[in-house]
Amino acid sequence: MARPQSDAALLEGVRAICHCLDQADDRQGYELDWRGRRFGRALGVALPATVEEVSRLVGYCGRHRIAIVAQGGNTGLCGGAVPTGDGRDRQLILSLRRMNRIRRIDPLTDSLIVEAGVLLQEVQQAADGADRLFPLSLGAEGSCTIGGNIATNAGGNAVLRYGNMRDLVLGLEVVLPSGEIWHGLRSLRKDNAGYDLKQLFIGSEGTLGIITAAALKLFPPLRQVDTALLALPSCEAALSLLKALQTREDVPLTAFELISAESVRLVGEQFPDKSFPLEPGHPAYVLVEAGWTGPCREDAFEQCLERVWGACGVVDAVVAKSDAQAAALWFWRESITEAQLRAGPHLKHDISLPIADIPEFVEQMDATLRSRFPGLRIVNFGHMGDGNLHYNLNAAPGVTADTLQAWQPEIERLIYDHVAERQGSFSAEHGIGQTKMDDLARYRSAVELNLMSVIKSSLDPEGLFNPGKIVGQRPFDTDGDEAF
- Our finding on whether 392 is near ligand MLT (CB under 6 A) is yes
Q: How many residues bind ligand FAD (CB under 6 A)?
A: 38
- Our finding on whether 392 is near ligand FAD (CB under 6 A) is no
Q: How far is the CB of 346 from ligand MLT (least distance, A)?
A: 9
- Our finding on whether 206 is near ligand FAD (CB under 6 A) is yes
Residues 128-157, one symbol each (x = binds ligand MLT by CB under 6 A, - = not), give -----------x------------------
Considering only 107-115, 205-213, 239-247, 471-479, which stretch makes contact with ligand FAD by CB under 6 A?
A: 205-213
Region of 99 on the Ramachandran plot (φ > 0 left; ψ -120 to 50 alpha; else beta): beta
111 binds, among ligand FAD, ligand MLT, none (CB under 5 to 8 A by kind): none
Residues 229, 226: Cα–Cα separation, whole Å: 11
- Our finding on whether 154 is near ligand FAD (CB under 6 A) is yes
The backbone torsions φ and ψ at residue 169, rounded to the nearest 5 degrees and listed phi first, read -100, 130
Q: How far is the CB of 96 from ligand FAD (least distance, A)?
A: 4
Beta-sheet pairing, 91-95 with 67-71: parallel
Residues 161-190, one symbol each (x = binds ligand FAD by CB under 6 A, - = not), give ------------------------------
348 binds, among ligand FAD, ligand MLT, none (CB under 5 to 8 A by kind): ligand MLT
- Which is nearest to 125 in space by CA: 108, 100, 150, 98? 100
Q: Residue from 207, 260, 337, 435 that binds ligand MLT (CB under 6 A)?
A: 337
47 binds, among ligand MLT, ligand FAD, none (CB under 5 to 8 A by kind): none
Residues 142, 137: Cα–Cα separation, whole Å: 10
Buried-state track 131-166, b at ≥16 Cβ within 10 A, e below 16: ebbbbbbbbbbeebbbbbbbbbbbbbbbbbbbebbe
- Our finding on whether 74 is near ligand FAD (CB under 6 A) is yes
- Our finding on whether 424 is near ligand FAD (CB under 6 A) is no
Considering only 44-52, 77-85, 277-285, 323-331, which stretch makes contact with ligand FAD by CB under 6 A?
A: 77-85
Give the helix, strand, coil percentages of the chain, each rounded to 5: 35, 20, 40
Q: How far is the CB of 84 from ligand MLT (least distance, A)?
A: 22
Residues 328, 351: Cα–Cα separation, whole Å: 27
Q: Residue from 217, 348, 377, 436 that binds ligand MLT (CB under 6 A)?
A: 348
Buried-state track 239-248, b at ≥16 Cβ within 10 A, e below 16: bbbbebbeee
Residues 266, 338: Cα–Cα separation, whole Å: 10
The backbone torsions φ and ψ at residue 476, rounded to the nearest 5 degrees and listed phi first, read -100, 145
What residues between 317 and 346 interact with ligand FAD by CB under 6 A? 337-338
- Our finding on whether 394 is near ligand MLT (CB under 6 A) is no
- Our finding on whether 377 is near ligand MLT (CB under 6 A) is no
Q: Residue from 18, 42, 96, 259 that binds ligand FAD (CB under 6 A)?
A: 96
Strands (E), 297-433: 316-319, 346-347, 350-352, 376-383, 388-395
Residues 324, 330: Cα–Cα separation, whole Å: 10
Considering only 232-240, 257-265, 426-434, 473-481, which stretch makes contact with ligand FAD by CB under 6 A?
A: 426-434
CB atoms within 10 A of CB 300: 17
Q: Residue from 97, 132, 390, 469 that binds ligand MLT (CB under 6 A)?
A: 390
- Our finding on whether 387 is near ligand FAD (CB under 6 A) is no
- Our finding on whether 93 is near ligand FAD (CB under 6 A) is no
Helix axes 358-372, 401-421, angle to 10 degrees: 150
Cβ proximity to ligand FAD: between 114 and 245 the closer is: 114
Strands (E), 269-335: 284-292, 316-319
Helix axes 51-63, 7-15, angle to 10 degrees: 150
Please report, in angstroms and rounded to a whole number, the separation of the first and last CA atoms in the chain.
47
Q: Residue from 58, 140, 230, 267 that binds ligand FAD (CB under 6 A)?
A: 140
Region of 408 on the Ramachandran plot (φ > 0 left; ψ -120 to 50 alpha; else beta): alpha
Residues 61, 446: Cα–Cα separation, whole Å: 32
Residues binding ligand FAD (CB under 6 A):
34, 69-77, 80-81, 96, 116, 138-140, 144-145, 147-149, 151-152, 154-156, 205-206, 210-211, 337-338, 429-430, 433, 466, 469
Residues binding ligand MLT (CB under 6 A):
77, 139, 337, 348, 350, 390, 392
